[in-house]
């Protein structure tokens, strides 16, 4: 293996260029991910979550979401022909340790 020596200033410039390029690539990937990600529908200006989105948010299966609805643990309702939950209701649950624990206990 060969050892390469370089002045500190040159090394720092190269590292800055590399990290700048990585930052640009990261921004491009983020923009691409946002463009390809389906946006959540809105009802009166508030986003609504369908069952697959809720399963992802709560890190459970869709069957668990349906069970929680059947038990009355979450306020799912039909909006646009699909079971959905309003964003403020999701936020209320995930920001309350007691409500989250109650859901986890019913898994």
For the residues of 34-77, what is the DSSP string, one character each? HHHSPPPPEETTEEEEEHHHHHHHHTS-HHHHHHHHHHTSS--E
For residues 25 and 70, state if they share a domain. Answer: no
| pTM for the structure as a whole | 0.60
For residues 69 and 93, state if they share a domain. Answer: yes
Domain hosting 13: range is: 7-37
CB 82 within 8 A of CB 44: no
For residues 58 and 32, state if they share a domain. Answer: no
Distance separating alpha carbons of residues 30 and 44, to the nearest angstrom: 28
For residues 56 and 92, state if they share a domain. Answer: yes
Per residue in 9-65, pLDDT (tens digit) is 999 999 999 998 888 888 777 676 655 555 567 777 888 899 999 999 999 999 999
For residues 47 and 83, state if they share a domain. Answer: yes
């Amino acid at each position: 293996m060969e050892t390469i020596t370089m002045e500190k200033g040159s090394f720092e410039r190269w590292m800055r260029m590399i990290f700048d390029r990585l930052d640009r690539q990261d921004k491009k990937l983020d923009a691409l991910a946002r463009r390809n990600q389906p946006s959540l529908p809105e009802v009166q200006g508030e986003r609504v979550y369908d069952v697959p989105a809720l399963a992802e948010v709560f890190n459970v299966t869709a069957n668990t979401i349906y069970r929680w609805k059947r038990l009355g643990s979450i306020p799912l309702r039909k909006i646009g022909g699909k079971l959905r939950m309003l964003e403020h209701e999701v936020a209320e649950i995930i920001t309350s340790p007691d409500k989250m624990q109650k859901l986890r206990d019913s898994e």
